């Protein structure tokens, strides 16, 4: 029963997220509203982490598996992608590397740990 209750709490916040996304036409996805609402509930101690610990841990653990079915859609997308495939690949590779570098280097610079200096 414990896990069912935990799942119910998570589904409730997901539903509230869907409701907010429908009410506020800003184009912010339901998952974001749900995430923000659940985060706020945790901060204000309305929900304690222990109350959803196992169910949320399980859902996050299976997230990579949930990417498989959407990826199979490649089967239908091959035609659309074929025209701009080189651009598509270059944009993804370049922007991923640049984003990685920006986030990593800025964080390293500001977090003040310079481990490359041998002191």
Partner 1 sequence: MTEFLSGSSLFAITLTLLIWRLASFLQKKAKSPVLHPILVSTAVIIVVLLVLKIPNAAYQASMKPLSFLMTPATVCLAVPLYEQIRVLRGKLPAILAGVACGTVVSLLCVAGLCLLFKLDHTMTVSLLPKSVTTAIGAPLSEGMGGLSAITVTAIIITGILGNISGSFLCKILKIKDPIAQGAALGTAAHVIGTTRANELGSIQGAVSSLSLAAAGILTAFLIPLVF
Provide the minimum distance between the beta carbon of 1 and partner 1 in the complex, in angstroms, as a whole number. Answer: 19
CA distance 72 to 106: 36
CA distance 71 to 77: 10
CA distance 13 to 6: 11
CA distance 82 to 77: 8
| Structure-token pair, residue 75 | 């089967």
85 interacts with partner 1 by CB under 8 A: no
Rule CB under 8 A: choose which of 1, 23, 76, 119 binds partner 1.
Answer: 76
Rule CB under 8 A: choose which of 4, 82, 115, 118 binds partner 1.
Answer: 115
Interacting positions 8-37 with partner 1 (CB under 8 A): 10-11, 13-14, 17-18, 21, 26-32, 34-36
100 interacts with partner 1 by CB under 8 A: yes
Rule CB under 8 A: choose which of 4, 23, 66, 82 binds partner 1.
Answer: 66
64 interacts with partner 1 by CB under 8 A: yes
Separation of CA 12 from chain center: 18
Q: How many helices (H) and strands (E) does the chain have?
A: 6, 0
56 interacts with partner 1 by CB under 8 A: yes
Count of positions on this chain that bind partner 1 (CB under 8 A): 76
């Amino acid at each position: 029963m414990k896990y069912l209750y935990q799942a119910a709490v998570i589904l409730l916040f997901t539903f509230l997220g869907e409701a907010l996304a429908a009410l506020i036409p800003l184009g912010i996805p339901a998952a974001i509203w749900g995430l923000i609402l659940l985060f706020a509930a945790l901060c204000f101690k309305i929900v304690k982490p222990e109350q959803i610990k196992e169910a949320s841990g399980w859902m996050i653990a299976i997230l990579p598996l949930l990417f498989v079915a959407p990826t199979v859609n490649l089967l239908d997308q091959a035609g659309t992608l074929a025209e701009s495939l080189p651009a598509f690949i270059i944009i993804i590779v370049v922007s991923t590397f640049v984003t990685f570098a920006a986030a990593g280097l800025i964080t390293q610079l500001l977090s003040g740990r310079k481990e490359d200096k041998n002191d």
